[in-house]
Amino acid sequence: MATAARIYHNARCSKSRATLALLQERGCTCEVVNYLETPPSVAELTQLLDQLGMTPRELIRSNEPDYRELGLDEPTLGDDALIAAMAAHPILIERPIVVVDGKAAIGRPPESVLNLL
């Protein structure tokens, strides 16, 4: 039976495309979530952070213009504010995120998701 995976995907990102291709080459059935069109909720992001074992600051893309424009570089901002910002501005979420059987990994590099299979 094929492994079922959910991938939070951005088709414009080469790492995201490579991760999706790698999963498909390994015979995974992939639920593709185009997270820029269908952003994860605050609750989903909180769950993903738990599955990843990461803090919100580790998951946020600090090189995006929105990061500075929204003042997210302020070190006193708490986790709730960062999670809310990612939910409202999904471009800030590191990608791709792959979830298999309640465990998650970031596909950077794409091979880093293989330990989920």
Residues designated catalytic: 13
Please state, in angstroms and rounded to a whole number, the distance separating the CA atoms of residues 44 and 31. 15
Contact between 13 and 96 (Cβ < 8 Å): yes
Contact between 62 and 73 (Cβ < 8 Å): yes
Please state, in angstroms and rounded to a whole number, the distance separating the CA atoms of residues 17 and 37. 16
